[in-house]
Chains A and B, each alone.
Chain A
Amino acid sequence: MSINKEGNSYTMIFAIIMVVIVGGLLAFISSTLKPIQMENVKNEKMQNILQAIGIEETANVTRDEAGAIFNDYITERIILDFDGNVKSNLSNEVAIKPASRKRTDETDAFNVDVRKYYNDLTGLMKKYPERGAEYEAGLKEEGITYPLFVCENEGKKFYITYFSGKGLWDDIWGYISLKEDGRTIVGSVFDHKGETPGLGSKITEVPFNEDFLGKVITTEEGVYRPIKVIKPGKERKEYEVQGLSGATFTAVGVDEMMERSFSVYNKYFKSLALNNFSTSDQQVETVVISDSFSQMTPDTNQVLANK
């Protein structure tokens, strides 16, 4: 052939043709497979939520089944703002809609992408390490919200929370289900994007999750108390969970995301006045007051506590 293969023009033409063909091929494959992939992701989320409830019926649901039975179990999909107020509440009669373009317009808790939110949160957390009012204003502006799913089964209510944070390498996230008292953990599902296989990746496995069962996120007085993941082998208190060897930073991430999210969820549970929260609210104040005035005489404490 008379084509000069060493010439610049041949090289350029070859490169252009190659890029067009490869680019077109990849774009075609990506767009044909996208709906199937989206369906997988959606079904997996449903599966995780169902498995997290902590009831036998849905403990072993497969990904394909999850889509069909999701609405039978999850009766309400609630979005909470930072103050724990309900921003929107959809019942299971409303079908799950595609996500809204603008985050602040989102009304379906199922579409609240806590992993994406967390990435924006990190910016705010760095900017306001002390937190405070500006931080909260930032949260509102960004439209950071907190999804909550309510499951009703055989007359019992379950609240399923969903939150995200950072492990050692990449995102970690979890679903935790609370009993109708809004403080006892009855189920959990943790997942991760890229934790070390065999070490941090074990947060998805049964032994780690099992240890969360029965743990209580508030004290008897209704004061919020974060669950702590502690090093394995140590003696644990009722709100401490057995960690994983060789996965210290994954555990730190689990602590952080739970503490950050449950401080919001707890505001909501408090406002619901579940079980004895209506009375314990006052006790919370007395606890705080008597702490700060601990130097006072017992009499003054008594007076303040009785107020």
Chain B
Amino acid sequence: MSEKKEPIFSKKNKKLISDPLNLNNPVTIQVLGICSALAVTVQMDNAIVMSVAVLFVLVMGNLIVSLMRNLIPTKIKIIVQLVIVAALVIIVDQVLKAYVYDVSKSLSVFVGLIITNCIIMGRLEAFALGNKPWASILDGVGNGLGYGMILVIVAFFKELFGSGGITIPGLGKLDLIPEFMYNIGYEDNGLMLLPPSSLILVAIYIWVQKSRTPSLIDENAN
């Protein structure tokens, strides 16, 4: 990589990582990967492992597609990307089953569903097909983190208000709502555990994000 003119972490490359965290967040701005943000956010630990798995698939997929970008026939490029993503997901699933069986059990079907996560196909198509490998890796890391960030934030509020605590991988469940709150009549809100509450939380996040960054507001929208 060093023979290239630009340094590894040039300003442009840094932007590849920082943009998806805020200005170009895959979930809240690009509106990709909403489906799994609704489903895998009931418990914090699932959200974290899911984020890591998506991050891995996204980075590897971006890298492979970027390396092959001059070889892939345009007629079947979507199929080729799909095959690469599917193969990566199966590898992740098999490795999890063999070496971290408990994690694979708690994620169950969601690992397989990474294939359908629109962020992955979206980034392969929009970025990796037209950029060099290193930039593609950074783009994968950035979007993976941006996705994971939303997942973790949504999961935090859902689990906190839905079941009164947060499950951290390796530590188990930490009860954050103190007992006396329950004694004076506080109750966990079951609705928070269901998918609709994710939509509400994501919407609130977008609201906060846009009010803090006016440049994101679409001037032409009525």
Contact = CB atoms under 8 A, between A and B. Distances in A.
A11 B46 contact: no
Interface string B26-43: 000000000000001011
Contacts of A63: 101
- Kindly name the residue among B73, B109, B162 whose own CB sees the greatest number of chain A CB atoms within 10 A: B73
B73 A10 contact: yes
Interface string A35-78: 01100100010000000000000000001000000000000000
A16 to B, nearest CB: 11
A48 B194 CA distance: 29
Interface residues of A, number: 27
B72 A33 contact: no
A22 B98 contact: no
A129 interface: no
B42 A36 contact: no
Interface stretch (B89-97, B132-140, B200-208): B89-97
B163 interface: yes
A117 B159 CA distance: 36
Given A11-B76, A29-B94, A194 B109 contact: yes
Nearest to A30: B94
Interface in A1-45: 5-6, 10-11, 14-15, 18-19, 22, 25-26, 29-30, 33, 36-37, 40, 44
17 contacts: A5-B71, A5-B74, A14-B73, A19-B83, A26-B87, A33-B98, A37-B98, A193-B108, A194-B108, A194-B109, A196-B42, A197-B42, A197-B43, A197-B106, A198-B159, A198-B162, A246-B193
A199 interface: yes
B163 A14 contact: no
A85 B76 CA distance: 60
B165 to A, nearest CB: 11
Contacts of A6: 73-75
Nearest to A245: B190
Contact of B80 (A10, A18, A198, A245): A18
A198 B42 contact: yes
Contacts of B87: 22, 25-26
A96 B46 CA distance: 34
B73 A33 contact: no
Contacts of A198: 42-43, 159, 162-163, 193
Given A33-B98, A246-B193, A197 B46 contact: yes
A65 to B, nearest CB: 14
A33 B42 contact: no
Given A19-B83, A198-B42, A198-B162, A11 B73 contact: yes
B180 interface: no
Interface string B99-134: 101000010110000000000000000000000000
Nearest to B100: A40
A33 B74 contact: no
Contacts of B71: 5, 14
Given A18-B83, A198-B43, A5 B73 contact: yes
B101 A40 contact: yes
A5 to B, nearest CB: 6
B94 A33 contact: yes
A27 to B, nearest CB: 11
Residue of A6, A18, A196, A198 with most partner-chain B CB within 10 A: A198
Contacts of B40: 197
A37 B90 CA distance: 14
A198 B98 CA distance: 25
Contact of A37 (B42, B97, B163, B190): B97
A22 B193 contact: no
A30 B98 CA distance: 10
Contacts of A11: 73, 75-76
Contacts of A14: 71-73, 76, 80
Nearest to A199: B193
